[in-house]
Structure 1
Amino acid sequence: MEAPSSEFTRLCTFEGFKEIWPHYSFACEQQEQIRREFSRLKGTTYLDHAGTTFFAKSQLKAFYKDISSNVYGNPHSLSPSSKITHDTVERVRYRILEHFNTSPDEYSVIFTAGCTAALKLVADSFPWISASEEHSGSQFCYLTDNHTSVVGIRGITGPQGVGTVPVFPQEIEAKAKDSQVALNTQDECLVAHLFCYPAQSNFSGRKYPLSYVRGIQCQQLYPACEHRGRWFVLLDASGFVGCSPLDLKQYPADFVPISFYKMFGFPTGLGALLVRNEATELLKKKYFGGGTAAAYLVEEDYFAPKADIVSRFEDGTIAFLDIISLHHGFDALHRLTGSMKDIQLHTFGLARYTYIILSCLCHSNSQPVAQIYCDNEFENAAYQGATLNFNLLDGYGQVIGYFQVDKMACLFNIHLRTGCFCNTGACQAYLGISNQEVKSNLKAGHVCGDNIDLIDGRPTGSVRISFGYMSTFEDCQSLLKFIVDCFVDKPLRLNQSRLARLKSTGTAANLASNELFSLPNKRPMPVMNGLNIPSLSINKTSAQNTVPKADRNCENAYSLTNIFIYPIKSCAAFEVTDWPLGPQGLLYDRIWMVVNENGVCLSQKREPKLCLIHPRICLASKTLCLEASACHKTCQSKVCGDRVQTVDCGEEVSVWLSEFLGKPFYLIRQSPSFARDMKMATGKGSLMPALSLVNEAQFLLINRASVALLLNRIIDRQDSSNNCTSFDMLQLINRFRANLVISGSEPFEEDDWTGVKIGGTFFQVAGKCTRCQMIGIDQTSGTKSQDPLRSLSVCRSGKEAFLLPTHHNLLSCSWPKLYRSTLFKHLPALIGLE
């Protein structure tokens, strides 16, 4: 089973890739053209195409040329500009149907705000019938592996007394049609039922048979075989159509919702509901808006809808420019790729290669590195989409939380998706989460989309990667090397027998098959001159009822060794030996921030070079000076005066920042009149502290003893892995970007503190700060590394936390200066000790 790391290295070459997937779909010229179209992705490993894919540069250029050359008016008119809009939109409708191998004779295209809006349209207008004595009423049935937006239909059906039937994937093929169902009465035929399922799971990428469409419609499959009436099928194709061909002539689903950003990357607020014309008269509306009425009266309840379903359901003016852009999306898609079959072949191959290598990676003790959630072994593109869902495991078989994986990935500019992906059903099924656990996790504070990845050691979600046609082998290579570098206990092993078996599974024919299932089957130098400063004391938590003797007998058990402020959020630290406190923490700490042209805050996570910008404040002249070691330029902006009342700090500093960072950026400061309260709990009866532009609290504190322990762990790991990254105490301290650095007696003893007193100022501990991936950025150079985040996680048993204290009773205290100081022991009476 053991294999040298050189084998993994070989497999991470293009030659190794071709051993596993010889059918790399795009030719060299095609690949180069695609690279040029998506040059903005250079240096980025983007693996969330199931979330959204990207638009080609030529696509937007063509769209811009189109709308710059033509006059498009509101289509609700008869003017020439309206006519060209109407005709162009209709051409786009036809092209959409053509793409799915159908025509206006069979389907209608209703434009919506997206897939979810299309689903809601069906839910609102479907002719649900409540259960009664005469019949059992309509049935709303859905596969449990459905997106939240599908399951949410029951919020409409439930109050109407409509039956709800969740169907597990294994059930749909387990039951056969009851031959007696064919004998329906006329009344029973009037009852309409709706079965909803995804063409491709947005959780695992599993493809469900498109043949289910006819199987449900003709009542051959469960649950249609057990309920009389007419069955309609809603096929959620949103996650499917980005990388797979859909033939609606062969699989005529009644309702097909899609979102176009998953196909073209642009526009992002546009989708459609494709409705089979046989089902158009089924949908009934109550609300009517502009453009939908043939006639209506304002003085009486009289309304006549327009005859065609499209005009009835597209309320108001449609997003006609966005719709027109789709024409250029289709052009770019076909010009760059050839066909959807080629896209499927390309993306599936990338997913298959990644699956095979990842599933064969093992720690030094032969334990697997990943637990992969899937129902097949990626043998066939008909069974599996270009999506891979997994959790990483440590050498003891314990799950590494997805939030930790995501933070580490950000350091390497790898873009993943984590959580449950709005698919609770699949998440429960694959991760073994019971209904009661979902409820218990909610009570414990975990909600969908947060970063609580483990509860009692059990995962609450997973990691998902997905590919698009612009994805490359190098994306797979980057991901796999990242996982091995950051999460594998060395030496790496490969499960050779599994590798050999998986490489041999499937032939070129079935790997590329499009036949779908049939029925059932970024640091300043410190000033270290000692100062004689007033004392500081420590409060412990109730969990620690006594102060250790060593603490009680040592007057100099603790000292404040460094004070740092960060005038500009995410830029370099400014070390001081004394500094005034203000109502929001250290005066001028995180009062400014850098934003892009859209006003979005810039952090080192997005732009590590921010750590090379050194802000310095002169209290005497009331100026902020910016200096960058790389270009030796300075720029000044007033701290006080009229300018501070405005949002923008002016063009001069903007030009300076943009020159240094290579992109358009601006400096803004927090308005003095802006009040921002702290969200974290500060204790019963305490006043709510005001914050600057910090994330959670006014001050961040770290303990040198804790950092020293972490440094030892990093050095130990580097010795064992031959990692040549240099770490020292000061560098490590600067990575944590703390305001207050103390020297404590024991590592992580600060976990049990409830308060810290420096001189006459008391600081209340508000809680721990969960460290983000910014600690992986060297504050001297802006380069990224996996440490210290990984070693901290190991050191803290998965809890990457340091202390985050806040000033106590801020609104009523005076603002003294804070000095580096000796921290005296806390008097026992102050902490309830005798």
Structure 2
Amino acid sequence: RPQSNREHVRSGSFPSPDAESIISKYLEPCGPGNPHSHSPSSRLTHDTVEQVRSRVLQHFNTTSKDYSVIFTSGCTAALKLVAETFRWRPQTEGEAGSHLCYLTDSHTSVVGMRGLTSTLGVAALPVSSQELKTRAKDGIQEEDVICQTPHLFCYPAQSNFSGRKYPLSHVEGIRARRLYPACDLQGRWFVLLDAASYVTCSSLNLQDCPADFIPISFYKIFGFPTGLGALLVRNDAAGILRKTYFGGGTAAAYLSGENYYVPAENISDRFEDGTVSFLDIIALNHGFESLYRITGNMHNIQQHTFGLARYTYTLLSSLCHGNGRPVAQIYAEGQFESPITQGAILNFNLLDSSGQIVGYSQVDRMASLFNIHLRTGCFCNTGACQAFLGITDQQMKRNLQAGHVCGDGVDLVDGQPTGSVRVSFGYMSTFEDCQKFLSFVAECFVMKPVTVNRARLQELKAARESSDRPDELPPVNGFIKERQTGVEKSSSKASQQEFGHVGPSHGKTLTNIYVYPVKSCAAFEVHDWPVGPLGLLYDRGWMVVNGNGVCLSQKRESRLCLIRPQVHLPSNKLFLQASGMDTISVPLEDDVSFHTSSQMCHSKVCGDRVETFDCGDEAAAWLSLFLGQPCRLIRQRPGLTREMKKRNQTGDDQLITAASSFLSLVNEAQYLMISRASVELIQNLMSNRFECEMFAIKRFRANLVIAGAEPFEEDNWSHLIIGNTRFTVAGPCGRCQMIGIDQDTGTRTKEPLVTLSAHRSGKVTFGVYLTHQAPEDFVSVLSVGSVVQMESHDH
């Protein structure tokens, strides 16, 4: 383990103590026991858990006199608990029922409460932030006191989308019925304050903000333990929660033969079903101790993280392309004026030099090259996403019907964004992190020379002055000056004239054929090769999985490229070779005795579940020794295939439609084809031209390489014939950081992805997918030197 907490802070991670260290510190000498028992060890565990409850309440400046802590599996479970146990009053003919009201800028887990309440006849009422500002003139009327219909209003203390902080005074405003919708609906109002995002970097004082229910998640505060949250319940409001199910520890008494049940008197005991995760709960002591030792208090965290966010916001919002157009569209209510109104979250989309939005998946792919971890999409907050991005309900439904779902990589539909990019800062973040992120944006997405809107420099000065560590803020002029040079974005035509070899539009030929028998391992180059029903015969028929059965790719284990599989058709064997290792083999064709003794297993490829069988202990031992971790070689089960999904021709990361071709263990298509002219163009544009042409071709891991076309001419093809085999173009291949791995050494570089992104204005596509459909009795062989005939979309 790292030697000190300071090392954890510098590395951007936080130590997760093992169970042994926690037990030895808090539970000596007898160790842990189930807190529901009365043995000495159990009583010690129980008392320690109760002490942690007090520690949690102390963190929020309250005590057990006013609040109770109900431990849950997370913030979502806490919200679900309120939805399930709140004493909802259904609407009847003579009386209005309860209302579940929530701010539209709410997390999915809050909005999801209506799924349960709707079945109970409870009306759901979404409220925008603008409506919430509407105030009643007189507040509660005398005749309203009689009505005791319970209503629940939910709102986030801080938006997890934009970082906007909503006034904590809304708690009293709703309960006193001074704010809409409480001012329009008679009854008793309760407030659920979603504090999960807020408390990560801000102090929540429940003496000043006495919300009835506060769900939180501890890993968002400390970084550990995962799967542990809590619902803080104001004791005066606990009576509105009613438990129907009872489990271990929640019952004071019950009868098995009669419908008789008495709940536990203690509020926490009443709602914690079964044995709580007491070791994780005890670990919270370590979290609180470390947090305060490293940072001092939550106020320091708030000031520090706000300074980082405001600095990044000021520079990013002022960055411009060489033509003066802005680089980013930022989604925020204000301009990061104060930590009282804005959290340490920056949400945005990047724009190219023509003002078009760069898809968030492209930004995410490039960020991974710089070891920058972003979050993209709608962040489980559809309401805020729609409001900021201008996505209508009809568009959301159309996108779903076309195939886009939350969490996928479809970032643009008809040129309009489906989500955005979010940067979040924590107490371990530094100004160097900000600088690294801004440098990444300038290097990869800004048309040179980098310029700045000088009017915003005064705002940066204000950010320096408000920061608790202004000496760490790097100078803006230096930041800009260092980034005046770099890869220039240019049109394909201009680049071809200056750098690239422009081949003739006729005389196209197939120059290389590559088979990849084992997924993510090295290529096996051939001169002639049969075409099978799933693509090139034996292409991606095997894959390597780790000890947990998860597919290994070069993104996780770059040394896979050093394994050289070779298919030897005459001997019916697949040979595995690597430097310093003896060569081993596995059978190619179905061997009944081998399959009978092999273990069947299930794996996933690109989200698709595939049935496979294990190739034996010899191959597993060989791979484990070479890769230095437990591994197994598995093969797709014969006769079972995956149905292919084909990308639209309009560009990468567009919506997908079903096709009738079938796949082996490839990611997306049967074949990948690239053009030598396109490779040469990108290689000539690269700032460091240390690689020969063949090395560059290997990085793109194509099955088929052609010559004679103009650079990127293949993007416009719809069909082509190679020899006597006809192929359909299934769309462009979206590239990731894997093309940055040198296929001869396994080392990682930022090229050629950076140059490819710059040249293609943020679209990281290279090469096209091909499909081939043929009758069962069709026999075809592809040969190097075959003529390539193509048909474009224009024809």
Query: Which residue is 1:698 aligned to?
Result: 670
SS in structure 2 at match of 1:385: coil
Q: 2:525 and 2:41 mapped to 1: Cα distance?
A: 63
Q: 1:265 and 1:505 mapped to 2: Cα distance?
A: 27
Q: 1:136 aligns with which of 91, 96, 101?
A: 96
Q: 2:703 aligns with which of 708, 731, 739?
A: 739
Query: Which residue is 2:250 aligned to?
Result: 292
SS in structure 1 at match of 2:50: helix
2:346 is aligned with what amino acid? L
Measured after TM superposition, the shift of residue 322 of structure 1 is: 2.2
Q: 1:733 and 1:788 mapped to 2: Cα distance?
A: 13
Measured after TM superposition, the shift of residue 434 of structure 1 is: 2.2
Q: 2:768 aligns with which of 773, 778, 803?
A: 803
Measured after TM superposition, the shift of residue 788 of structure 1 is: 4.2
Q: 2:121 aligns with which of 149, 161, 164?
A: 161
Q: 1:587 and 1:210 mapped to 2: Cα distance?
A: 64
Identical amino acids, percent of aligned pairs: 53
Q: Say whether the 8 Å CA contact 2:645–2:659 is kept in structure 1.
A: no
SS in structure 2 at match of 1:181: coil
Measured after TM superposition, the shift of residue 192 of structure 1 is: 1.2
Q: Say whether the 8 Å CA contact 2:544–2:631 is kept in structure 1.
A: yes
Q: 1:253 and 1:304 mapped to 2: Cα distance?
A: 28
Distance 1:624 1:338, change over 3 A: farther
Counting only pairs closer than 5 Å after superposition, residues 164-203 of structure 1 correspond to structure 2 as 164-173=124-133, 175-179=134-138, 181-188=140-147, 190-203=148-161
Q: 1:111 and 1:635 mapped to 2: Cα distance?
A: 55
Q: 2:47 and 2:18 mapped to 1: Cα distance?
A: 20
Q: 1:476 aligns with which of 427, 431, 434?
A: 434
Q: Which runs of 5+ in 2 are unaligned?
A: 471-503, 600-612, 649-657
Query: Which residue is 1:573 aligned to?
Result: 523
Distance 1:63 1:817, change over 3 A: farther
Query: Which residue is 1:465 aligned to?
Result: 423
Q: 1:560 aligns with which of 486, 510, 514?
A: 510
Q: 1:607 and 1:797 mapped to 2: Cα distance?
A: 26
> How many residue pairs align between the two structures?
730
Q: Say whether the 8 Å CA contact 2:681–2:711 is kept in structure 1.
A: no
Query: Which residue is 1:389 aligned to?
Result: 347
1:293 is aligned with what amino acid? A
Write the deviation string for residues 36-56 of structure 1: whole angstroms up to 9, x where unpaired: 2257x4xxxx7xxxxxxx531
Query: Which residue is 1:522 aligned to?
Result: none
2:191 is aligned with what amino acid? V
Q: Which runs of 5+ in 1 are unaligned?
A: 1-30, 47-53, 513-549
Measured after TM superposition, the shift of residue 368 of structure 1 is: 1.4
SS in structure 2 at match of 1:400: coil
Distance 1:56 1:792, change over 3 A: closer
Q: 2:311 and 2:673 mapped to 1: Cα distance?
A: 45
Write the deviation string for residues 392-415 of structure 1: whole angstroms up to 9, x where unpaired: 111122211111111111122211
2:296 is aligned with what amino acid? G
Q: 2:78 aligns with which of 118, 128, 143?
A: 118
Q: Say whether the 8 Å CA contact 1:205–1:388 is kept in structure 2.
A: yes
Query: Which residue is 1:84 aligned to?
Result: 44
Q: Say whether the 8 Å CA contact 2:16–2:224 is kept in structure 1.
A: no
Query: Which residue is 1:99 aligned to?
Result: 59
Q: Say whether the 8 Å CA contact 1:687–1:809 is kept in structure 2.
A: no
SS in structure 2 at match of 1:83: helix
Distance 1:309 1:36, change over 3 A: same
* TM-score of the pair, normalised by structure 2: 0.83
Q: 1:715 aligns with which of 684, 696, 700?
A: 684
Q: Say whether the 8 Å CA contact 1:569–1:594 is kept in structure 2.
A: yes
Distance 1:381 1:702, change over 3 A: same
Q: 2:205 and 2:5 mapped to 1: Cα distance?
A: 26
Counting only pairs closer than 5 Å after superposition, residues 670-689 of structure 1 correspond to structure 2 as 670-673=635-638, 675-680=640-645
Q: Say whether the 8 Å CA contact 2:720–2:788 is kept in structure 1.
A: no
Q: 2:299 and 2:582 mapped to 1: Cα distance?
A: 56
Write the deviation string for residues 465-485 of structure 1: whole angstroms up to 9, x where unpaired: 111222222221211111111
Q: Say whether the 8 Å CA contact 2:563–2:576 is kept in structure 1.
A: no
Write the deviation string for residues 69-123 of structure 1: whole angstroms up to 9, x where unpaired: 7532333333333323322222221211111111111111111121111111111
Q: Does 1:448 find its partner at 2:406? A: yes
Q: 1:232 and 1:413 mapped to 2: Cα distance?
A: 44
Q: 1:420 and 1:107 mapped to 2: Cα distance?
A: 33
Query: Which residue is 2:270 aligned to?
Result: 312
Q: 2:577 aligns with which of 626, 629, 633?
A: 626
Query: Which residue is 2:289 aligned to?
Result: 331
Q: Say whether the 8 Å CA contact 2:753–2:764 is kept in structure 1.
A: no
Q: 1:659 and 1:320 mapped to 2: Cα distance?
A: 39
Q: 1:203 and 1:216 mapped to 2: Cα distance?
A: 23
Aligned Cα root-mean-square deviation (Å): 3.5
SS in structure 1 at match of 2:281: helix
Q: 2:60 and 2:453 mapped to 1: Cα distance?
A: 42
Q: 1:657 and 1:665 mapped to 2: Cα distance?
A: 8
Query: Which residue is 1:432 aligned to?
Result: 390
Q: 1:348 and 1:674 mapped to 2: Cα distance?
A: 57
Query: Which residue is 1:146 aligned to?
Result: 106
1:155 is aligned with what amino acid? G
SS in structure 2 at match of 1:116: helix
Q: 2:520 and 2:319 mapped to 1: Cα distance?
A: 37
Query: Which residue is 2:69 aligned to?
Result: 109
Q: Say whether the 8 Å CA contact 2:250–2:272 is kept in structure 1.
A: yes
Q: 1:668 aligns with which of 633, 636, 658?
A: 633
**Which deviates more, 728-737 or 474-483?**
728-737
SS in structure 2 at match of 1:286: coil
SS in structure 1 at match of 2:529: strand
Q: 1:69 and 1:733 mapped to 2: Cα distance?
A: 63
Measured after TM superposition, the shift of residue 241 of structure 1 is: 1.5
Write the deviation string for residues 664-709 of structure 1: whole angstroms up to 9, x where unpaired: 25242225458341332699xx99655332112332222334x25x
Q: Say whether the 8 Å CA contact 1:379–1:506 is kept in structure 2.
A: no
Q: 1:166 and 1:126 mapped to 2: Cα distance?
A: 18
Query: Which residue is 2:584 aligned to?
Result: 636
Q: Say whether the 8 Å CA contact 1:714–1:791 is kept in structure 2.
A: no
Distance 1:35 1:563, change over 3 A: farther
Query: Which residue is 1:225 aligned to?
Result: 183
Distance 1:497 1:584, change over 3 A: same
SS in structure 2 at match of 1:170: helix
Measured after TM superposition, the shift of residue 193 of structure 1 is: 1.3
Counting only pairs closer than 5 Å after superposition, residues 29-108 of structure 1 correspond to structure 2 as 33-37=4-8, 41=11, 54-57=13-16, 62-63=21-22, 65=24, 70-108=30-68
* TM-score of the pair, normalised by structure 1: 0.79
Structure with more relative contact order (C-alpha pairs < 8 Å, separation 6 or more): 1
1:118 is aligned with what amino acid? A
**Which deviates more, 337-346 or 192-201?**
337-346
2:66 is aligned with what amino acid? E
SS in structure 2 at match of 1:504: helix
Distance 1:335 1:103, change over 3 A: same
Query: Which residue is 1:515 aligned to?
Result: none
**Which deviates more, 193-202 or 265-274?**
265-274
Q: Say whether the 8 Å CA contact 2:619–2:633 is kept in structure 1.
A: no
SS in structure 1 at match of 2:643: coil
Measured after TM superposition, the shift of residue 156 of structure 1 is: 2.5
1:779 is aligned with what amino acid? Q
Counting only pairs closer than 5 Å after superposition, residues 17-28 of structure 1 correspond to structure 2 as none
